[in-house]
């Protein structure tokens, strides 16, 4: 190895597989990696359980096929978020709980339970509040990684953009269902019902 090159060496010794330079450079910027990993595990748990609960919520929107289609978009995107987060957790030296019950209990957002009275309006309220919790979660992760952990920030920023988009979708549907008021969100058909965005050019969804 040419040790005269500026970035050829660092604190991690050559050939050492017990440490990661990807963590070293983040910690050098003052980011507490263990704390970040815990937040990512909680966020991953929220995306995973939301995907599960959105499956149930979607099934109870019979007669509202337009609502079902948008809920399906959000459902598949949350699954894609989970699959995007997990590799980053392991790259940072962490891992998700081996017991799914522990993992679900760690979810950073409340469970999106089917309401006792599963009207379209009540289901849309649950969907909307789930997205708002996700926005708060990913905004926090963006804030702590900005300028320190470029890879996690990029991931969190892209997820945050989608969660903000989801909130706009459900505000549009709920405001119309509840009050008959149009609040356009800018939602466009994905091509096929339930097809998540960016599947070709950003790699978020690859079933």
The full set of domain ranges for the chain reads: 21-179
pLDDT tens for 49-104 read 999 999 999 999 999 998 999 999 999 999 999 999 999 999 999 999 999 999 99
Which pLDDT band, with edges at 50, 70 and 90, does 6 fall under? confident
pLDDT tens for 174-185 read 998 987 777 776
Helix then strand then coil, in percent of the chain rounded to 5, is 60, 0, 40
pLDDT > 80? residue 207: no
pTM over 0.75: yes
Q: Looking at domain 21-179, which of 3.40.50.170, 1.20.1260.10, 1.10.10.10, 2.40.30.10 is its CATH number?
A: 1.20.1260.10
pLDDT > 50? residue 45: yes
What is the per-residue pLDDT for 159? Answer: 96
Q: Alpha-carbon distance 166 to 127, whole Å?
A: 9
What average pLDDT does this structure show over 4-21? 75
């Amino acid at each position: 190895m040419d040790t005269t090159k500026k970035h050829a060496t660092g604190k991690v010794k050559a050939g050492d597989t017990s440490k990661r330079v990807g963590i070293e450079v983040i910690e050098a910027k003052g980011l507490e990696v263990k704390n970040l990993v815990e937040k990512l595990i909680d966020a991953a748990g929220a995306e995973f359980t939301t995907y599960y609960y959105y499956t149930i919520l979607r099934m109870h929107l019979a007669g509202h096929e337009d609502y079902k289609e948008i809920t399906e978009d959000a459902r598949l995107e949350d699954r894609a978020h989970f699959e995007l987060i997990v590799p980053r957790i392991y790259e940072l030296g962490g891992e998700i709980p081996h017991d799914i019950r522990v993992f679900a209990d760690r979810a950073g957002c409340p469970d999106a339970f089917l309401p006792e009275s599963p009207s379209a309006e009540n289901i849309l309220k649950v969907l909307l509040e789930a997205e708002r919790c996700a926005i708060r979660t990913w905004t926090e992760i963006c804030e702590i990684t900005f300028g320190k952990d470029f890879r996690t920030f990029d991931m969190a920023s892209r997820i945050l953009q989608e969660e903000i988009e989801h909130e706009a979708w459900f505000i549009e549907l709920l405001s119309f269902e509840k009050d008959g008021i149009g609040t356009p969100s800018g939602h466009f058909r994905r091509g096929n019902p339930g097809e998540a965005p960016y599947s070709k050019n950003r790699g978020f969804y690859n079933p």
